[in-house]
Amino acid sequence: MAEVIIVTDPESAGALVADEIVSLLRRRPDAVLGLATGSTPLPVYRALQPRLAGVDVSRVRGFALDEYVGIDPAHPESYRSVISREVVEPLGLDPAFIRTPDGSDDGIEHAGEDYEAAIAAAGGIDLQILGIGTDGHIGFNEPGSSFASRTRVKTLTEQTRADNARFFDSIDDVPMHCITQGLGTILSARHLVLLAFGAEKAAAVAGAVEGPVSASLPGSAIQLHPHVTVVVDEAAASAL
């Protein structure tokens, strides 16, 4: 059963998870972080910045959960750009140690297996930060994704494209495809930390934490993992 921590606001959640990450980095300066995008993890990254003053981060490694396919890596909303802007630069991480899946047309054929090989070569992910979509997706593993899946190309649902349209000029600019760590990849991380805020996430959180373990709500895969921390505000916890 996941440990569920209910906090008053996203800032408190960010502080709590940032403290956990700092204590991991003090134990293991070359720890491997699983980095999520979306708005949910931003309070964690913001809270990390002051806490990492005086901590040696030169050997921290990181793997993004997912990336859009067919978007210029330099596009401000590519997850490569987002991770660079929100995590790598403010925290002073070495960009050479932080990877995103290769969503470019040239790299896409082998991108999934290359990414899995890179994660394995790093020794696996120590702490995976996760958000959750309103339909229960984690990473970009939409409903119906196999619990055994590894990093691969997927088609985005209309719901997720609509949810993410706020980051683009219009929904037509939201890519149709993505490359995402699979549910099997996510379950291989040693510690999962799932965050969610707001009433629109309440059903997905309840399904993930205590609903049936089912591919129709991919976040429910976390129930198969022995070390999960769920950090939610009261609104996101309201259906638990």
Q: Which residues belong to the active site?
A: 66, 135, 137, 142
| Smallest separation, CB 201 to ligand GLP (Å) | 7
Residue type present at position 108: I
Nearest to 185 by CA among 95, 110, 98, 124: 124
| Smallest separation, CB 235 to ligand GLP (Å) | 13
- Helix (H/G/I), strand (E/B), else coil: 208: helix
In angstroms, rounded to a whole number, what is the distance separating the alpha carbons of residues 88 and 206?
Answer: 32
In angstroms, rounded to a whole number, what is the distance separating the alpha carbons of residues 18 and 13?
Answer: 8
Nearest to 31 by CA among 109, 97, 112: 97
Nearer Cβ to ligand GLP (88/128):
128
Nearer Cβ to ligand GLP (55/157):
157
Nearer Cβ to ligand GLP (40/151):
40
Nearer Cβ to ligand GLP (40/149):
40
Q: Which residues bind ligand GLP (CB under 6 A)?
A: 36-40, 65-66, 131-133, 139-140, 160, 164
| Smallest separation, CB 211 to ligand GLP (Å) | 17
Dihedral, CA atoms, 61, 67, 71, 73, nearest 10 degrees?
0
Helix (H) or strand (E) holding 32: strand 32-35
| Smallest separation, CB 170 to ligand GLP (Å) | 17
